[in-house]
């Protein structure tokens, strides 16, 4: 770190541990915007790094609109992907930690708490390797007060190296990652309220300031920053569960959930975004972060707070399961041996990420009812679909391969099907030749639109029996 007269640190070398959906795009954009800073993204997963370094930039492991262009510009110039974690840590003045923090699958807090083992491993590795002062930036979403644990590990390295810990949670949404990184609503930086803490905050502000207006860079104490990220995700997910809860009531009362959403969204206090009823939210964050919030609240004996947020997850699970039940009921109470075509497997459009996607749970429920599920998704690979189903451990993995077939063409997926279920809102589904699809299906031909994507009038005119969320 070069010290300037004003005590400002000039950062020339940063690294990021974790080349995933957050670390990869975030660091690519930082490298593009700061050509004078060397940016190294490291990961223990050799295949992932190999893919990031693939000479054909189309083969990078994460699909995000606009990302290949950013990587093309910066890779090899000041953006590097590597598995040599020690070297990158040693050289960097600022280290982002962007490893995953999944829900714990064992021990105390199983199924609720965030598993911080990768965070701790990263901190221990930094403590072991570092020979000069460093700023550590928490990028991963973490329980409030995690910075304290990281600091304890680092401060006891016994080498006299000084560390400053910043919390800089990432708010990007997948599918719009590059756009969100280039033009964020805000960037949040939490740090220690001391002279050194403020200098570290300023160093990170100095990076973002290159392309983001200063008024959008919010600085807070570390704990507010950590908790704000959990709170933001909880509020966003709560809006979806709220509208999804109303969708079921709409179906009973002949109200139309889209009309209700439009009517309430016009109130500027409520706002119109994130009010789209669906088969249920997915993604790596909402469920994990709310479960974690619930766990933290319970650990402070705040049971009413915990119950309040837990309800968001309960409604989401209910929304998924009532969608699969609707399919079974509509198909004359049995789907055994029937072909159900899924359009979409990703948890939302414009991404190949499938973590916690509603499609996984709906497929699992239908396979349990002995349906034959055939899936087409424009970006998700078949091996990922099988990995997702196998992870639920509901049955033998061979049976998953018998009961779920991957199609690489949507018309083949739908041919001879008894029903089609829309699980992801890919735009291309709207442009299909629905007359041809109808002709080639079993009759009556059902469409279950879990995303309210398709035009109901068009489908019913063709002859489909049509079900959409929150519509009678
Ligand atoms: C996200 C966010 O970082 C986090 O905020 C959120 O809470 C969930 O996970 P994401 O980038 O989406 O992370 O996760 P993932 O795509 O799994 O990437 C994490 C990467 O870290 C993986 O490539 C993994 O191999 C790597 N990793 C993990 C390491 O390099 N070292 C480790 O010790 C553990
Ligand atoms: C979310 C947050 O938006 C982001 O700020 C945070 O950094 C990570 O978690 P992400 O999970 O990538 O981002 O996508 P998001 O657009 O929030 O969608 C999450 C899920 O909710 C998707 O399954 C989506 O289809 C669903 N959704 C979203 C709805 O069902 N209805 C809506 O109105 C909005």
d(CA 459, CA 436): 12
Q: What average pLDDT does this structure show over 253-260?
A: 98
Q: What average pLDDT does this structure show over 353-365?
A: 97
Q: What is the pLDDT of residues 146-159, one digit of tens each?
A: 888 899 899 888 88
Q: What average pLDDT does this structure show over 364-382?
A: 97
What DSSP assignment string belongs to 382-403? HHHHHHHHHHHT-S-HHHHHHH
Residue 94 is predicted with a pLDDT of 98
Residue to probe by mutation, ligand 2, list 229, 244, 283, 426, most atoms within 8 Å of CB = 283
**Residues in CB range of 46: below 8 A, 6 or more apart:** 83
Residue 7 is predicted with a pLDDT of 56
Active centre residues (catalytic)? 170, 229, 285
Residue 156 is predicted with a pLDDT of 85
Q: What is the pLDDT of residues 52-105, one digit of tens each?
A: 999 999 999 999 999 999 999 999 999 999 999 999 999 999 999 999 999 899
Residue to probe by mutation, ligand 1, list 17, 20, 114, most atoms within 8 Å of CB = 20
pLDDT band at 425 (very low <50, low <70, confident <90, very high): very high
Whether the full predicted model's pTM is greater than 0.75, yes or no, is yes
CA 230 remoteness from chain centre: 13
Q: What average pLDDT does this structure show over 358-366?
A: 98
| CA–CA distances in Å: residue 188 to residues 151, 167, 171, 232, 440 | 20, 8, 9, 12, 52
Is 465 a residue whose pLDDT tops 90?
A: yes
CA 233 / ligand 2 centre spacing (Å): 9
Q: Whose CA is nearest to atom 28 of ligand 2?
A: 274
CA 235 / ligand 2 centre spacing (Å): 11
CA 436 / ligand 2 centre spacing (Å): 33
* Window from 146-160, 164-178, 220-234, 390-404 with minimum mean pLDDT: 146-160
Q: What average pLDDT does this structure show over 373-385?
A: 97
- Nearest ligand 2 atom to alpha carbon 424: 25
Is 1 a residue whose pLDDT tops 70?
A: no
Residue 3 is predicted with a pLDDT of 46
Ligand 2 pocket: which residues have CB below 6 Å? 170-174, 233, 236, 240, 274-276, 278, 281-283, 285-286, 347-348
Residue 313 is predicted with a pLDDT of 98
What DSSP assignment string belongs to 409-441? SHHHHHTT-SEEEE-S--GGGGGS-HHHHHHTS
Pick the closest to residue 362 from 328, 337, 331 (CA basis): 328
Q: What average pLDDT does this structure show over 439-447?
A: 98
> Do 381 and 294 form a contact (C-beta atoms < 8 A)?
no
Q: Whose CA is nearest to atom 26 of ligand 1?
A: 18
Q: What is the pLDDT of residues 294-318, one digit of tens each?
A: 999 999 999 999 999 999 999 999 9
What are the φ and ψ backbone dihedral angles of 131, each rounded to 5 degrees? -120, 0
Residue 144 is predicted with a pLDDT of 83
User: Which helix (DSSP H) or strand (DSSP E) does residue 468 occupy?
Assistant: strand 465-468
> Do 441 and 413 form a contact (C-beta atoms < 8 A)?
no
Is 28 a residue whose pLDDT tops 80?
A: yes
d(CA 298, CA 292): 10
> Do 82 and 41 form a contact (C-beta atoms < 8 A)?
yes
Residue to probe by mutation, ligand 1, list 16, 100, 115, 288, most atoms within 8 Å of CB = 100
Q: What is the pLDDT of residues 187-228, one digit of tens each?
A: 999 999 999 999 999 999 999 999 999 999 999 999 999 999
CA 282 / ligand 2 centre spacing (Å): 7
Residue 232 is predicted with a pLDDT of 97
Residue 404 is predicted with a pLDDT of 98
């Amino acid at each position: 770190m070069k010290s300037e007269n004003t005590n400002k640190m000039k950062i020339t070398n940063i690294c990021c541990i974790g080349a995933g959906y957050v670390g990869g795009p975030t660091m690519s954009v930082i490298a593009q915007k700061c050509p004078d800073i060397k940016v190294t993204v490291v990961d223990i997963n050799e295949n992932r790094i190999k893919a990031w370094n693939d000479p054909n930039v189309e083969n990078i492991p994460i699909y995000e609109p606009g990302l290949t262009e950013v990587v093309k510009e910066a890779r090899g110039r000041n953006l590097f992907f590597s598995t040599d974690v020690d070297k990158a840590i040693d050289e960097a003045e600022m280290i982002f930690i962007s490893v995953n923090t999944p829900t714990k699958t064992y021990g105390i807090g199983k199924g609720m708490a965030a598993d911080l083992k990768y965070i701790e491993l990263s901190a221990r590795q930094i403590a072991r390797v570092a020979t000069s002062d460093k700023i550590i930036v928490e990028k991963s979403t973490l329980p409030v007060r995690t910075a304290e644990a990281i600091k304890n590990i680092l401060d006891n390295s016994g080498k006299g190296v000084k560390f400053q810990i910043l919390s800089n949670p990432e708010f990007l949404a997948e599918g719009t990652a590059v756009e969100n990184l280039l033009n964020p609503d805000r960037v949040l930086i939490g740090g220690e309220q001391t002279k050194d803490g403020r200098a570290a905050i300023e160093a990170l502000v100095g990076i973002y300031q290159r392309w983001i207006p200063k008024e959008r860079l919010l600085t807070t104490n570390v704990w507010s920053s950590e908790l704000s990220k959990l709170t933001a995700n909880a509020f966003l997910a709560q809006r979806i569960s709220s509208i999804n809860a109303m969708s079921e009531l709409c179906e009973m009362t002949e109200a139309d959930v889209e009309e209700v959403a439009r009517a309430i969204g016009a109130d500027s206090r409520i706002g119109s975004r994130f009010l789209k009823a669906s088969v249920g939210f997915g993604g790596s964050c909402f469920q994990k972060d709310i479960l974690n919030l619930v766990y933290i609240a319970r650990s402070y004996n705040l049971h009413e707070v915990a119950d309040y947020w837990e309800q968001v997850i309960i409604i989401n699970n209910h929304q998924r399961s009532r969608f699969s039940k609707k399919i079974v009921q509509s198909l004359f109470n049995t789907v055994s041996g029937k072909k159900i075509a899924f359009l979409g497997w990703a948890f939302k459009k414009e991404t190949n990420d499938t973590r916690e996607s509603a499609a996984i749970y709906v497929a699992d429920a239908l396979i349990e009812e002995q349906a034959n599920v055939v899936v087409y998704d424009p970006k998700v690979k078949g091996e990922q679909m099988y990995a997702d189903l196998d992870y639920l451990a509901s049955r033998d993995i061979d049976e998953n391969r018998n009961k779920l077939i991957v199609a690489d063409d949507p018309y083949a997926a739908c041919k001879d099907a008894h029903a089609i279920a829309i699980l992801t809102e890919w735009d291309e589904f709207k442009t299909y030749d629905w007359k041809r699809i109808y002709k080639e299906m079993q009759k009556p031909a059902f469409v279950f639109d879990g995303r309210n994507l398709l035009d109901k009038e068009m489908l019913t005119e063709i002859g489909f029996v049509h079900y959409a969320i929150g519509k009678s």
